[in-house]
């Protein structure tokens, strides 16, 4: 019954596919909640298909998604950080980050999501995006041409407030010099460690921009990290490029390629950032 009540919050009229994504998100949330206190939750159990360590919680979340797809009876192919590509005979692909913000989840920091996007070929081919905040129980969703929503209510980016901006920046030892420089140029900075959530925060106007740019290209983001947030932010009125101001739409829906990401709510601020400054 709880699932039915939660499903009622999703009122975007885009049909069964979005409802399926929503139920997949709920399945991950249940699995994460049931296993969140496991003494093995931080165990590295294998190397994922993406070449990064697979935590036990990631494996559990991914298994929940694959099982839910069978229950739903859809034939979508899957690209996921842990299992790689699974051909299930469909003509569309579900791009999955089972737990975005795993390091946060391992430390009980309240910034982790499941990110789900459905489409074909590349980011521009994403038709639906859904990000479920696993801590707040909030659902961000979007369908191409139908707008972006938070728990069924429309969201939009906000106008750039001039010198009062708040920017989300990926920091740490691999952050690029530009990322470090930006910290000292804008009014407020936050680093949450969850790309899909940070894109959604730009989409709803809580933040003005997001920069993920590491000096080592192999430490940048994959399609699994940003596919859902890409569609949600575009539908909310924002924009994205890579760190060199090149469009991201041709990034393939696979695990091979990585990219830096610069995302903005207001195109004027986006241009300032692409040009190398914030004011």
- Count of CA atoms in the C-beta half-sphere (13 A) of 261: 32
Number of domains in the chain: 2
Helix (H) or strand (E) holding 58, with range, is helix 56-72
The 10s digit of each residue's pLDDT in 75-115 is 999 999 888 999 999 999 999 999 999 999 988 999 999 99
- The whole domain housing 105 covers 2-155
* pLDDT-derived band at 34, boundaries 50, 70, 90: confident
Look up the CATH number of the domain holding residue 223: 3.40.190.80
Residue at which a domain ends, from 104, 134, 155: 155
Q: Find the angle CA(211)-CA(42)-CA(69) to the nearest 5 degrees.
A: 75
Residue at which a domain ends, from 123, 155, 187: 155
Residue at which a domain ends, from 113, 133, 155: 155
- What lies within 8 Å, CB to CB, of 16 at 6+ separation is none
Contact 65, 96 (CB under 8 A): yes
The model's pTM: 0.89
Which percentage of the chain shows pLDDT scores above 70? Answer: 87
- Count of CA atoms in the C-beta half-sphere (13 A) of 130: 26
The 10s digit of each residue's pLDDT in 205-264 is 999 999 999 999 999 999 999 999 999 999 999 999 999 999 999 999 999 999 999 999
Domain match, 106 and 34 both = yes
More confident residue, 4 or 115: 115
* pLDDT-derived band at 36, boundaries 50, 70, 90: low
Domain match, 36 and 125 both = yes
The 10s digit of each residue's pLDDT in 263-275 is 999 999 999 999 8
Q: Which residue has the tokens 């959530």?
A: 197
pLDDT at 15: 81
Q: What is the mean predicted confidence (pLDDT) over 175-201?
A: 96
Pairing of strands 166-169, 209-212: parallel
- What lies within 8 Å, CB to CB, of 118 at 6+ separation is 17, 21, 76, 92, 93, 94, 95, 126, 127, 128, 129
Phi, psi angle pair for 146, to nearest 5°: -120, 5
């Amino acid at each position: 019954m709880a699932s039915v009540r939660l499903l009622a919050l999703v009122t975007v009229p885009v049909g069964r596919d979005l409802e399926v994504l929503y139920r997949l998100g709920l399945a991950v949330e249940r699995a994460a909640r049931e296993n969140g206190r496991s003494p093995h939750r931080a165990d590295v159990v294998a190397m994922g298909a993406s070449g990064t360590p697979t935590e036990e919680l990631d494996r559990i979340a991914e298994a929940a998604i694959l099982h839910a797809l069978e229950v739903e009876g859809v034939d979508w192919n899957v690209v996921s950080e842990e299992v790689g590509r699974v051909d299930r005979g469909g003509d569309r692909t579900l791009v999955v980050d089972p737990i975005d913000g795993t390091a946060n989840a391992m430390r009980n920091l309240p910034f982790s999501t499941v990110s789900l996007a459905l489409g074909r070929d590349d980011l521009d081919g994403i038709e639906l995006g859904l990000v479920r905040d696993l801590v707040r129980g909030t659902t961000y969703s979007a369908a191409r041409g139908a707008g972006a929503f938070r728990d069924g209510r429309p969201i939009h980016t906000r106008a750039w407030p001039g010198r009062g901006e708040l920017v989300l920046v990926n920091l740490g030892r691999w952050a690029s010099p530009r990322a470090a420089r930006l910290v000292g140029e804008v009014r407020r900075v936050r680093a949450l460690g969850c790309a899909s959530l940070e894109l959604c925060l730009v989409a709803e106007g809580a933040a003005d921009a997001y920069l993920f740019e590491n000096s080592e290209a192999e430490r940048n983001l994959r399609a699994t990290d940003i596919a859902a947030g890409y569609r949600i932010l575009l539908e909310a009125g924002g924009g994205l490029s890579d760190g060199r101001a090149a469009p991201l739409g041709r990034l393939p829906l696979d695990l091979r390629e990585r990219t830096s990401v610069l995302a903005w709510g207001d195109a004027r601020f986006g241009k300032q950032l692409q040009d190398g400054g914030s004011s």
